[in-house]
Structure 1
Amino acid sequence: MARPSAVCLVLLALLAVGEAAGWGHEYAYCKNEHCRIVKKDCPHTCRHSCKVDCETCKSVCHCDKPGGVCQDPRFVGGDGVTFYFHGRQNRDFCLVTDPNLHINGHFIGKRGDNMTRDFTWVQSIGVLFDDRQLYVGAMKTGVWEDANDRVSLAVDGEPIYLPQFAGATWRSDSSPQITITRTRDTNAVDVEVEGRLKITAVVVPITQRESMIHNYEITEEDCFAHLDMGFKFYSLTDSVSGVLGQTYARNYMSRAKIGARMPVLGGEREFAASGLFATDCVASRFVGRMGREGEESKSSGMEYANMECASGGVDGTGVVCKR
């Protein structure tokens, strides 16, 4: 009998470690009259953050659709183009800025040995519109347990607590109405601001597998829990900017090197903010409630709201979109 090669032995060892670490696929559900009750494996590119499309009854990655902000952090712009924006750990950056909508992201991360940049992830977001503030974040976590809810929510500085079952919902009494709904028992919510935007947010950890592959050196003291998100915008102007927001402007031309395996977008100075709810980034367009009165034209970002996208490359580094 032929002896297994060294490569085979390494692969077998990795598989054994993976089974011990729980690398298997997670699931998503859909409950409606069309799909009834459907349980689907999440695709390997978004094991923790997929959902079931209740129209097609198939599992999909919101990270592969326009408005996706996931992983390290990987963006899918309103134009369907995938790029990375690394930022810096423990800093805040403007993701979207428009006359009456402003979204900052707080980046966490660490500097690897012999690295010239930080590994970073989006730990929380601060959303401003009118004179309101909305917070969605991932709590710092040591050893990850799926059954432990690590979502943190607040509206105008007041914490929001939802019962831990899928479908639990909180609604504001104000206009525009804010609706927050659990999409799983723990660690996943949809947040919608009537007429403005919808956010799909899932708290996910850095797994042992990811740490091993990318040499993140994650320890049991901190699994770097962060947000995988999908944004859908209902009303943007042509002046929209921000790391993600600029890609929804009608005249936007991507500055990322599209042919690269990891096309990286710069602009740290342009998009850096002094705090999670600060609107002082150089690119800021935000003026608050008064901004609604000055709106003249809607962004072509509305054209991208219903685009269908799927991974078009290895490990999801490319995205193919069609209307």
Structure 2
Amino acid sequence: MSLLWKFLLTLSFSCLFLGYVSAGKVKCQDPYYGYCYGIPLKCPPGCPKLCQVDCKTCKPYCDCNKPGAVCQDPRFIGGDGVMFYFHGRKDEDFCLLTDPDLHINGHFIGKRSTKGRDFTWVQSIGVLFGPNQLYIGANKVSDWHDTTDYMHIQLNGQDVIIPSGDGETWLSSETGVSIKRVGPANAIELEVAGSFKVRARVVPITQEESRIHGYDITSDDCFAHLELGFKFNSLSSSVNGVLGQTYAPGYRTQVKMGAPMPIMGGNHKFSSSHLFSTDCAVSRFGLNHDAHELDDLPMVECGGDSGARGMVCKR
């Protein structure tokens, strides 16, 4: 074996060289769709390594292009179908969705850049529903191996251990949580009965991504992070949060539609003190479903020229 091949073989266990490699094919696993069931389909060019299949149409599609997706540097697809970025700040927590019965925060990791903002990715999420707390996170990784599971899940402070193997499941009858593996490692589909579903996958930053975007990722940390896809069953009209606001009735996007990278601002509104805190400025968790109506009252300043016409201010 030549020295070059020995060198490449050694590098193949490095997160920078190997990246996240899969077969690049997907199969419908629902036997109801017999004409599609079990047929290997090639992933689309936009996600050549990782995708899902619509069994009804028997066509593969990219997870990160569906409403409710949170991927990459975080790139969101809102409930309204509009794509935007929210960068937040590295090593801080932000409210992704907040509703009277459901609250989801995300912990952002990242690196400083010369572009005036942090490069950031969602490393973990903290979900509150009823009295329960759910954690889904990516462990820190230096050398990435496809067959090693780097996902960490906890329910109410207890580690969740899912049997190995594609299709294996874990259930909690007390909380209504069910978790199914959708790959041999690093990919699950979780459902909280009557509330929401999330597909979560742990992926690293590859050498190619680092080169193209200038992330300057080094061999000591792959910056393993989550790619997420949410579906919600029963959100209220008061829903808010970086992603949650896009599901509110009458919501109009606040990003520049024609921009190459439409960015959602509002760090101050969505910032949380920790992963399981509900103290962000737009928090709705635990409130009466109609309490948000108070937030819509007009603001009036007395004693100046900015008071609203038709309003009389008295001491």
Q: Answer whether TM exceeds 0.5 for this pair.
A: yes
Q: State the 1:253 CA deviation.
A: 1.4
Is it true that 1:144 corresponds to 2:147 in the alignment?
no
Q: SS of the residue aligned with 2:46?
A: helix
Residue 115 (structure 1) aligns with: 115
Matched-pair contact (CA < 8 Å) for 2:22–2:49: no
Aligned pairs for 1:222-261 (under 5 A) are: 222-261=221-260
**Residues 33-182 of structure 1 mapped to structure 2, 5 A cutoff:** 33=31, 34=34, 35-112=36-113, 114-175=114-175, 177-182=176-181
TM-score (norm 2): 0.82
Report the counterpart of residue 213 of structure 2 in structure 1.
214
Once the two structures are superposed, residues 152-199 of structure 1 have per-residue CA deviations (whole angstroms, 9 ceiling, x without a partner) of: 111111100112211110111215x11000000101000100010000
Counterpart position of 1:193: 192
- Distance between the aligned counterparts of 1:24 and 1:280, measured in 2? 40
Letter in 2 for 1:120: T
CA positional deviation for 1:25: 6.4
- Show structure 1 runs of 5+ residues with no match: 1-19, 298-323
- Are the counterparts in 2 of residues 195 and 235 from structure 1 also a CA contact under 8 Å? yes
The residue number in structure 2 matching 1:305 is none
- Rounded to whole Å, the distance in 2 between the matches of 1:25 and 1:257 is 37
- Partner SS for 1:44: coil
SS of equivalent residue, structure 1 residue 126:
strand
CA distance in 2, matches of 1:241, 1:235: 14
Confirm or deny: 8 A CA contact 1:66 1:78 kept in the other structure. Answer: yes
The 3-state SS of whatever aligns with 1:45 is coil
CA contact (8 A) 2:27 2:37 kept: no
Q: Once the two structures are aligned, what percentage of the paired residues are identical? A: 53
Go from structure 1 to structure 2 and tell me whether the alpha carbon gap of 1:48 and 1:150 turns closer, same or farther (over 3 Å shift). Answer: farther
Residues 238-289 of structure 1: CA distance to partner in whole angstroms, max 9, x if unpaired?
A: 10000000000012111111110110000000000000000000010011xx
Higher helix share: 1
Of 25, 28, 31 in structure 2, the residue corresponding to residue 30 of structure 1 is 28
Q: What CA distance in whole angstroms lies between the structure 2 residues aligned with 1:26 and 1:148?
A: 18
> Across the two proteins, how many residue pairs are aligned to each other?
271
Give the aligned residue type for 1:40: L
Which structure has the greater CA radius of gyration? Answer: 2
CA contact (8 A) 2:25 2:40 kept: yes
Report if aligned partners of 2:86, 2:264 keep a CA contact under 8 Å in 1: yes
Residues 28 and 39, structure 2, Cα contact 8 Å, conserved in 1: yes
Give ranges in structure 2 of 5+ residues lacking alignment: 1-16, 292-315
Q: 1:21 to 1:155 in 2, by over 3 A?
A: closer
Residues 52-79 of structure 1 show CA distances to partners (whole Å, capped at 9, x for unaligned) of: 2222222211211110110110001111
> 1:98-132 deviations in whole A, cap 9, x for unaligned?
001000000000012x2311000001100001110
User: 1:295 Cα shift?
Assistant: 3.8
CA contact (8 A) 2:18 2:144 kept: no
Deviation at 1:145, TM superposition (A): 1.4
Q: How much is the aligned-residue C-alpha RMSD, in angstroms? A: 1.8
Q: Name the counterpart of 1:285.
A: 284
SS in 2 for 1:270: helix
Cα distance in 1 for partners of 2:22, 2:63 equals: 19
* TM-score scaled by length of structure 1: 0.80
